[in-house]
Amino acid sequence: MHLTSLNLTNYRNILSAEFVPAEGVTILHGRNGQGKTNILEAVNAFAQGRPYRTRHEKDLLYGIAGTANGEAVTPDKIAQFTRAEAEFVSGDGKTTHETMVWAADGTKKLTRDDIPARPADFIGRFRTALFSPENLQLVKGGPGQRRAFLDLAISQLDPLYLASLTRYNKALMQRNALLKSWRSLDAASRQSLQSYTPVMAKEAAYITDKRESYVRQMSDIAAKIYSDMTDNAELMKAFYRGRRSEDEFSMLFRDYENRDVDAGMTIIGPQRDDMTVLLDGVPARQMASQGQQRAIVLSLKLAEGEISREISGEYPVFLLDDVLSEIDAPRREYLMGELAEGGRQVIITTCESEIKGDKIYEVEKGEIRERE
């Protein structure tokens, strides 16, 4: 699967752009603050149904903060809408055309082949493996970031997972709302609490099972990539603990009822789990250097792409934001060599001009043009 074109209107600092990436490696080159990451964000929105860099999708409107590309934007010049349009081709040769339009009143409209779609419909069809500088937090940040990474990676491959997670989270929210309002349990409140157990135990068993097998598969592939990247000098491993059967979850939710009331929330379950990454046997969260963190995250992201291909038969589109800084020459060489092989479509942003690609775009003040 690959992206054949992206058209943007009023997307952040980009008034209008047409981006036609190569089937292989495309470079987005330019100085800081010119719009390179904005383009990647827009591409990725078609995989996630939303932009990953903001919770407030109105931030996308051109000029919303009162400036764009170093110039003041008066309120009457702030864009009334943002539009992104993408076309991609899947392995069987089928072309899909999708649009996303965000309006100034905060609403957004999505279409696939001219038929209205929901954001969740965009997950799984056009798939990406995104590496962004924010992802470096995957190693040192809190467990929530690692769970979010797993949830998105698995959801792109398994629609049942996303549905299961949605059902679990809905029940969890309702259960937590009850717990928050209680000081102790009587028979009636215990009963309403237990009404959530069947659905939560069932979904928790499914979610933790999928996460554990995904991490096991990813760990093997990532370890190989990491050791190739570091010339066999370092050994990485990732694991996830938390898989339990439906019966075990049912019992646990019951056992924890009193503690849940004390805490005012549900204290066991997939919402509390973590993925641990070890480097030479030591938790990477404690000891990995900047460059090692980058290499770990890259290995995980490349592994994500491999699993995606194994399961769906096609690579996702690799979006690599500023991936080359902070990694040394041999690691960089390995990475670029690896990415150029095997029919992957890769879009990389960089500030460095000395970089090879099948197609190079210059990005300047929100305008893009192909380098001659």
Ligand X SMILES: Nc1ncnc2c1ncn2[C@@H]1O[C@H](COP(=O)(O)OP(=O)(O)OP(=O)(O)O)[C@@H](O)[C@H]1O
Does position 37 interact with Mg ion (CB under 5 A)? The reply is: yes
In the complex with ligand X, the residue whose CB is nearer, 212 or 321, is: 321
Smallest separation (angstroms) from Mg ion to the CB of 39: 9
Binding flag, residue 38, Mg ion (CB under 5 A): no
Question: Closest CB to ligand X among 21 and 35?
Answer: 35
| Cβ-contact 130, 153 below 8 angstroms | no
Question: Minimum distance from CB of 240 to Mg ion (Å)?
Answer: 31
Contact of 143 with 136, CB cutoff 8 Å:
no
Site for ligand X in 78-97 (CB under 6 A): none
User: Dihedral, CA atoms, 214, 215, 217, 219, nearest 10 degrees?
Assistant: 160
- How many helices (H) does the chain have, and how many strands (E)? 11, 17
By a kind-dependent CB cut-off of 5 to 8 A, residue 299 interacts, out of Mg ion, ligand X, none, with none
367 binds ligand X (CB under 6 A): no
String of contacts with ligand X for each residue 198-217, x by CB under 6 A: --------------------
Residue whose beta carbon is closest to Mg ion: 37
User: Which 41-70 positions form the footprint of ligand X (CB under 6 A)?
Assistant: 59-65, 68
> Smaller CB distance to ligand X: residue 36 or 146?
36
Cβ burial, residue 194 (10 Å; 0-12/13-18/19+): middle
Work out what residue 158 binds among Mg ion, ligand X, none; the CB cut-off runs from 5 to 8 Å by kind.
none
- Contact between 132 and ligand X per CB under 6 A: no
Is residue 29 within the footprint of ligand X (CB under 6 A)?
Answer: no
Any idea what DSSP says for residue 352?
A: -
Taking CB under 6 A as the criterion, the residue among 2, 19, 30, 270 binding ligand X is 30
Residues 294-323 that bind ligand X (CB under 6 A): 322
Q: Which does 248 bind (CB under 5 to 8 A by kind): ligand X, Mg ion, none?
A: none
Number of chain positions touching ligand X (CB under 6 A): 22
Judged by CB under 6 A, does residue 355 bind ligand X? no
Q: Which residue has the tokens 């097998």?
A: 213
Q: Structure tokens of 125?
A: 């069809």
Q: Which of 1, 8, 12, 175 binds ligand X (CB under 6 A)?
A: 12
Query: What single letter denotes the amino acid at residue 300?
Result: L
Q: How far apart are CA 91 and CA 313, in angstroms?
A: 8
| Residue 32 contacts ligand X per CB under 6 A | yes
SS3 332: helix
Instruction: Please spell the DSSP secondary structure of 11-47, one letter per residue.
Output: ETTEEEEEE---SSEEEEE--TTSSHHHHHHHHHHHH
Stretch that binds Mg ion, among 34-42, 118-126, 246-254, 283-291 (CB under 5 A): 34-42
Structure-token match 């100034």, residue found: 104
Give, for 66, the enclosing helix (H) or strand (E): none
* Nearest Cα residue to 50 out of 2, 106, 93, 105: 106
Angle at 354 between CA 351 and CA 357, to 5 degrees: 95
What are the residues whose beta carbons fall under 8 Å from the beta carbon of 63, sequence distance 6 or more? 73, 77, 78, 79
Among residues 2, 29, 34, 301, the one that binds ligand X under rule CB under 6 A = 34
Q: Which two tokens stand for residue 147?
A: 């769970």
Tell me: does residue 36 bind ligand X (CB under 6 A): yes
Measured from the CB atom, the residue of 37 and 155 that comes closer to Mg ion is 37
- Under the binding rule (CB under 5 A), the answer on residue 230 touching Mg ion is no
Which residues sit at the interface with Mg ion, rule CB under 5 A? Answer: 36-37
Which residues sit at the interface with ligand X, rule CB under 6 A? Answer: 12-13, 30, 32-38, 59-65, 68, 322, 349, 351, 363
